[in-house]
Amino acid sequence: MAIVLKLIAFTPNAANVVAASAKLCYSPSGAADILEGLDSKKIESFLKMLNETGHMSPFEHVSYTFAIEGISRVATHQLVRHRLASYSQQSQRYVEMNVPSCIVPPSILENEYALEIFQKQVDFTWECYKKLVLLGIAKEDARFILPHGAESRIVVTMNARELHLFFSLRLCKRAQWEIREVARQMFMLVRKASPELFVTGGPSCIVNGTCEEAHPCGDPYSSLENMLSK
Amino acid sequence: MAIVLKLIAFTPNAANVVAASAKLCYSPSGAADILEGLDSKKIESFLKMLNETGHMSPFEHVSYTFAIEGISRVATHQLVRHRLASYSQQSQRYVEMNVPSCIVPPSILENEYALEIFQKQVDFTWECYKKLVLLGIAKEDARFILPHGAESRIVVTMNARELHLFFSLRLCKRAQWEIREVARQMFMLVRKASPELFVTGGPSCIVNGTCEEAHPCGDPYSSLENMLSK
Amino acid sequence: MAIVLKLIAFTPNAANVVAASAKLCYSPSGAADILEGLDSKKIESFLKMLNETGHMSPFEHVSYTFAIEGISRVATHQLVRHRLASYSQQSQRYVEMNVPSCIVPPSILENEYALEIFQKQVDFTWECYKKLVLLGIAKEDARFILPHGAESRIVVTMNARELHLFFSLRLCKRAQWEIREVARQMFMLVRKASPELFVTGGPSCIVNGTCEEAHPCGDPYSSLENMLSK
Amino acid sequence: MAIVLKLIAFTPNAANVVAASAKLCYSPSGAADILEGLDSKKIESFLKMLNETGHMSPFEHVSYTFAIEGISRVATHQLVRHRLASYSQQSQRYVEMNVPSCIVPPSILENEYALEIFQKQVDFTWECYKKLVLLGIAKEDARFILPHGAESRIVVTMNARELHLFFSLRLCKRAQWEIREVARQMFMLVRKASPELFVTGGPSCIVNGTCEEAHPCGDPYSSLENMLSK
C-alpha cells in the first residue's frame, strides 16, 4: 500500500519547446525556425537565463501526467487544492470499496500500540461499511464512515512551471509526509524525463541556499540528492 | 449538525457593477460615467441581454463569500474541485477534533438499523482517535482514521459567473445530496443579496426548460420555487 | 503574410491518456493498468460516452502547443483573453520592427481604394517609427504608433478541453475572421494529431445541429468539411 | 489623456474577512463566530502573521474593481496577460473611434521633434481610418491601422492576493512606464480602501529591502512614499 507514481504522459522534447518559446519573446524569428536552430548548448544557456531571471512562463508549455496509487484521501484533498492542474480521481460514489484499505502513517506503523488500535478501527469500519451496503444504503452514503486515510487513485497533470511551485511547497520538510512523498517521486520522474528543466528544484534551502520559512524546520536539506533519497 | 451557510461578504451594488462593465464594451463612455447614468430599468434590460446572449464575463466582477459549517469532508473534497474559487478550510492537521462529529446522511438517519451501525462506528472511531493522540501520535496522523463524513468548516468565495456554473451542476437532482444542499442555500443567499443577478439559475430543466443530461433523473424540477424549497 | 500555424508539441497517445483517466473514475483498477488494457475499440466507446455525458475534464490531461506567425496584434489581444492557456509572445518592447508588416484584412485587400489608403498609411507609419527610433526614442515607446494590425508571433498551449471550448466560440461565423482562421488551422492540426479526440467540434450548428446564438448569423455551416475548408 | 483609475467596487470590511478566513484554518470555531469576535488589534496581529508566513491565500476572499480610462492598447494587452483577474474592455470592433486619441509616451512628449512626427502620424492615421469607414470597410477591419497606443477603456477586477503579485511585478522600475502608472494608482486606491491589507507592497526593494531582479535597475525605491509619488 505504498504510494506508487507512474509518469504516463509528457510533452516530448520539452526542453526544446520551453527554450524556443522563451527565445521567441526576444527574437525576430518565428518559433518553428528557432526550434530547428536549437542545439543542446543553446538550450542550456537559455534555460539558465530563464531560471536566473525568474521568467518562468515558458515552462508552462510542457506538461506531465502522473498516475498515483496508494494515496490517502487526506493527501488527495491537499493535492487538489493546487488549482492550476487537472485531476481525474477514482470515485467513492460509484466504485464499491471491497478491500479494507487505509494508508498507515509511518508514525503509527512504528508504534506497536498505536498500530493495534489503528488496525482494529480499520477492520471494524470496513465491517460496518459492508453492513450498511447490505442494508441498502447507497455507496455514496455508506462511505461517510470510511476512514479519511482510505486509499484512492488519481491522475494528475501539471505543467513544468506549476510543478516547480509544487516542489517548492511540498518538498519542504514542513509539508505533510504523504504529499511530500508524492512530490519526491514526481520530481524524480520529471527529472528523468526532462533533465534540463529540473536541474534544480524544491524548497528554498535547496534552490536559494537559505530557508525563507517563517517557522524553519531547523534541519534543511544538505543537497538535492539528500532531498531525493527517501 | 445540519449544514449552515452564512454570506459573510459580497460586492455592494453588484447589479450596477455588472451592467456598467458590460455596457462599457459597447459604449464610447467610460465605466464610471456609465455607472452614474444607470437606473434600475436600464440595469434590468442590460442584464436580460447578457443572459440571452450568454455574455457572462461581466458577472465575474462581483464576488460572494460564504462561511459554511456542518459540512462533511466528503462534500468539501467535491467543493474544492471547483478551481475558479478561493477557499480557507479548517485544518485537521492543526485543530484537534474533540467532538465525535460526523455528518449523518439522510438515508442513514431514516434507517434505524443503519443508524445504529453508523453511531457505533463513529463512537468507536473517536475513541480510537483520542487513544492515538494520547499515545503521542500527531493529530495530522491520527486523523487518518477519522470518518470521511467528519464535520468541517470552510470559507468559500466565488464570483457570480462561477456561481451560475456551480448552480447549473450542483443543483441538479443527480448531484450528491450534501453539495446540493450547499448550492441551494448559496442560491437563496445570493438571490437575496443581488436579486437582479440571480433572477434564474440552476440546472437546464429550470434555465432552459429541458434536461440536457445524458442520464436524466426523470423527475425535473417543476419551478424555481420547487428547486429552492428543501 | 498569411497566418501560419505549426503544431510544435503535443501529448503522445492522447486518446489513450484521456480514456484511461476517465475510466479511472469508475473503475477499481489503477490508471496505469487501465492504460495497458485499452484497445482502440474501448477507447472509442469511452470517448463517445464522455462526449455524450459532457464529462470533459479528462480532456484536460493532454495539451497542444502551436507556433503562430503572420498574426496581427488585434488577434493576439483577443487570443490571450482565453485565460486557461499559456502564451509566449514576441515582444515589441525588445524586438525592433524592421519590416513594415501589417496584416491586411481581406475586406481591404479586395477593395482597391481601401487598399491604397491602407498601404500609404502603413508605409508612412513605418517611416515615422524608424525616425522616432533614430531620434533615440526607445522601441517600447516608438511602437505606440505601430498599427494594431502589426504582425506578431506567439506560441500558445491549450489542453484539449479548452481547445473544444475555443473552437465552439471562435469557429462560429460571428467570430472575427482572423481568430477564426487561427481556430480553423488549430482544429485541422489537432484533428490530425489526435483524431479520436476531435471527431467533432466547433460551434453548436456543427456539434448540436442547431444554432444557440442570440443573434444567429443566418448561414450555419452545412458540415464539418464545410467549416474546415477555407 | 492621462490615465485615470476609479475604484468602482470592493469587498466591504475586507481586513475582517481576510483575518476571519485565515483564523478559521487554525481554530475550532466557525468563520461567522470568529468574524464577530474580531477587533482591530486581533486583525492587525493576524494579518502580520499572514504576511510573515507568506500564507497569502486568505487574501483571495476580497476583491477590487477598477474602471480605467486613458490607457493605451499597448498597456491593456500587457494587463490582460494577468490571468487570475476579470476584464471587460471597450470593443474596437463595435465602438467607432471618432477622436484621434493616442496615448503619448512621456519620452515623446518631452522631445519636440519626436512629438511632431508622432502627431503627424496620428492625425494621418485617423484621417485614413475615417476614409476606410466611409468606403464601407467595417470598423473591425479599419481598426487594423489604428495605433497600438490608441486609447482604450477597461474594467478590471483582482483579488487582494493577485493585486500583491501584480504590484510586485508592475511597480518595479523595470516595468513599462504606463502599466507602472496603472499599478501605482491601483495601490493608492486599495491602500485607502483597505489600509490593513496594503500596509506594504510593491517590488522586493520595498517589501524585502533588497532587489531580487537578475538585471537590477540600479536605482531602487528609497521608501513606500517615494514609490507612490509620481
Least confident of A16-30, C188-202, D173-187: A16-30
* Closest listed residue to residue D194, CA positions, set D61, D4, D33, D69: D61
CB atoms A9 and C62 under 8 Å = yes
The average confidence (pLDDT) of chain B is 92
pLDDT, residue C212, reads 84
CB atoms B144 and A104 under 8 Å = yes
Length of chain C: 230
Do A101 and A150 contact (CB within 8 A), yes or no? yes
Least confident of B97-101, B147-151, D64-68: B97-101
Query: What domain range includes position A179?
Result: 4-87+152-228
Cell matching residue A3:
504510494
pLDDT, residue B99, reads 67
| Residue C198 and residue C223 in one domain | yes
pLDDT, residue A19, reads 94
pLDDT, residue C100, reads 66
Which is it for the CA torsion D99, D103, D109, D114, positive or negative?
A: negative
Q: Which amino acid is at B175?
A: A
Which runs of E-coded beta strand occur in A126-217? Answer: 151-159
* Mean pLDDT confidence for B107-133: 95
**Measured CA distances, B92 to B139, B159, C224, D58 (Å):** 7, 27, 52, 18
Greater model confidence, B137 or C100: B137
The C-alpha atoms of residue C64 and residue C86 are separated, in whole angstroms, by: 10
The C-alpha atoms of residue D13 and residue C198 are separated, in whole angstroms, by: 48
pLDDT, residue B32, reads 81
| Residue B132 and residue B47 in one domain | no
Does any domain span residue D102? no
The C-alpha atoms of residue B108 and residue A137 are separated, in whole angstroms, by: 7
If residue C74 lies in a helix (H) or strand (E), which one and from where to where? helix C73-79
User: Is D26 near chain A, with CB under 8 Å?
Assistant: no
φ, ψ for residue B7, nearest 5 deg: -90, 105
| Residue C15 and residue C41 in one domain | yes
Q: How many domains does chain D have?
A: 2
pLDDT, residue A7, reads 97
Do B172 and B221 contact (CB within 8 A), yes or no? no
Report percent pLDDT > 90 for chain B. 75
Final residue in a domain of this structure, among C122, C147, C172 = C147
pLDDT, residue D97, reads 67
Provide the CA D30 distance to its chain's centre, in angstroms: 34
Q: How far apart are the first and last CA of chain A?
A: 16
pLDDT, residue A97, reads 67
* Mean pLDDT confidence for C26-53: 85
The pLDDT confidence band at residue B92, using thresholds 50, 70 and 90, is: confident
Please give the angle made by the CA atoms of D32, D36 and D39, to the nearest 5 degrees: 135
**Measured CA distances, D85 to B35, B60, C86, D71 (Å):** 21, 9, 15, 18
Residue with cell 469500519: A125
Report percent pLDDT > 90 for chain C. 75
CA distance C49 to chain B (A): 9
Please give the angle made by the CA atoms of D193, D199 and D204, to the nearest 5 degrees: 125
| Residue A133 and residue A192 in one domain | no
Cell matching residue D54:
507568506
Do C154 and C88 contact (CB within 8 A), yes or no? yes
User: Is D120 near chain C, with CB under 8 Å?
Assistant: yes
Residue B120 pLDDT greater than 80, yes or no: yes
Final residue in a domain of this structure, among D96, D116, D147 = D147
Count the neighbouring beta carbons within 10 Å of the beta carbon of residue B93. Answer: 15
Chains in contact with chain B (at least 3 beta-carbon pairs closer than 8 A): A, C, D
SS3 of residue A102 by DSSP: strand
Does any domain span residue C67? yes
CA distance D39 to chain C (A): 38
The C-alpha atoms of residue A196 and residue D217 are separated, in whole angstroms, by: 29
CB atoms C121 and D118 under 8 Å = no
Q: Which residue of C has its CA nearest to A155?
A: C21
| Residue D19 and residue D47 in one domain | yes
User: Is C214 near chain B, with CB under 8 Å?
Assistant: yes
| Residue D8 and residue D77 in one domain | yes
The C-alpha atoms of residue A143 and residue B52 are separated, in whole angstroms, by: 41
Do A17 and C8 contact (CB within 8 A), yes or no? yes
User: Is C226 near chain A, with CB under 8 Å?
Assistant: no
Report percent pLDDT > 70 for chain D. 97
Q: Which residue of C has its CA nearest to D103?
A: C144
The C-alpha atoms of residue B95 and residue D25 are separated, in whole angstroms, by: 8
Give C-chain residues touching D87 at CB under 8 angstroms: 81
User: Is C28 near chain B, with CB under 8 Å?
Assistant: no
| Residue C22 and residue C70 in one domain | yes
The pLDDT confidence band at residue C53, using thresholds 50, 70 and 90, is: confident
- CATH number of the domain to which B38 belongs: 3.30.1360.170
The pLDDT confidence band at residue C160, using thresholds 50, 70 and 90, is: very high
User: β-strand C86-89 against C4-10: which pairing, if any?
Assistant: unpaired
Residue B1 pLDDT greater than 60, yes or no: no
Contact map slice: B 53-112 vs C, CB within 8 A: 53-54
User: Is A209 near chain D, with CB under 8 Å?
Assistant: no
Residue B71's beta-bridge partner residues?
B152
CB atoms D104 and C144 under 8 Å = yes
The C-alpha atoms of residue A216 and residue A31 are separated, in whole angstroms, by: 43
User: Is A145 near chain B, with CB under 8 Å?
Assistant: yes
Residue with cell 463612455: B29
| Residue D143 and residue D158 in one domain | no
CA distance B17 to chain D (A): 7
| Residue D80 and residue D129 in one domain | no
| Residue C159 and residue C141 in one domain | no
Alpha helices in chain B (DSSP H): 14-24, 31-37, 40-53, 73-79, 106-109, 112-134, 139-142, 160-170, 177-193, 204-207, 224-228
pLDDT, residue D50, reads 87
Cell matching residue C3:
497566418
The C-alpha atoms of residue A101 and residue A149 are separated, in whole angstroms, by: 8
| Residue B83 and residue B159 in one domain | yes
Q: Which amino acid is at D115?
A: L
pLDDT, residue B123, reads 93
**Measured CA distances, B124 to A144, B128, B139, B143, D190 (Å):** 15, 6, 17, 14, 51
* Closest listed residue to residue B22, CA positions, set B14, B13, B31: B31
CB atoms C65 and A94 under 8 Å = no
Count the neighbouring beta carbons within 10 Å of the beta carbon of residue A98. Answer: 10
Q: How far apart are the first and last CA of chain B?
A: 16
* Closest listed residue to residue A46, CA positions, set A67, A21, A11, A75: A21
* C170 among known catalytic residues: yes
Give C-chain residues touching D180 at CB under 8 angstroms: none
pLDDT, residue B100, reads 66
Residue C207 pLDDT greater than 80, yes or no: yes
Which is it for the CA torsion D56, D57, D62, D63, positive or negative?
A: positive
Residues in chain A predicted with pLDDT less than 50, given as ranges, are none
Does any domain span residue D101? no
Q: Which amino acid is at A90?
A: Q
The C-alpha atoms of residue C17 and residue C62 are separated, in whole angstroms, by: 7
Cell matching residue B81:
474541485
Residue with cell 461565423: C173
pLDDT, residue C97, reads 67
The average confidence (pLDDT) of chain A is 92
The C-alpha atoms of residue A116 and residue A111 are separated, in whole angstroms, by: 9
The average confidence (pLDDT) of chain C is 92
Does any domain span residue C75? yes
| Residue C112 and residue C159 in one domain | no
CB atoms A121 and B125 under 8 Å = yes
Q: Provide CB contacts within 8 A for D99, sequence distance 6+.
A: none
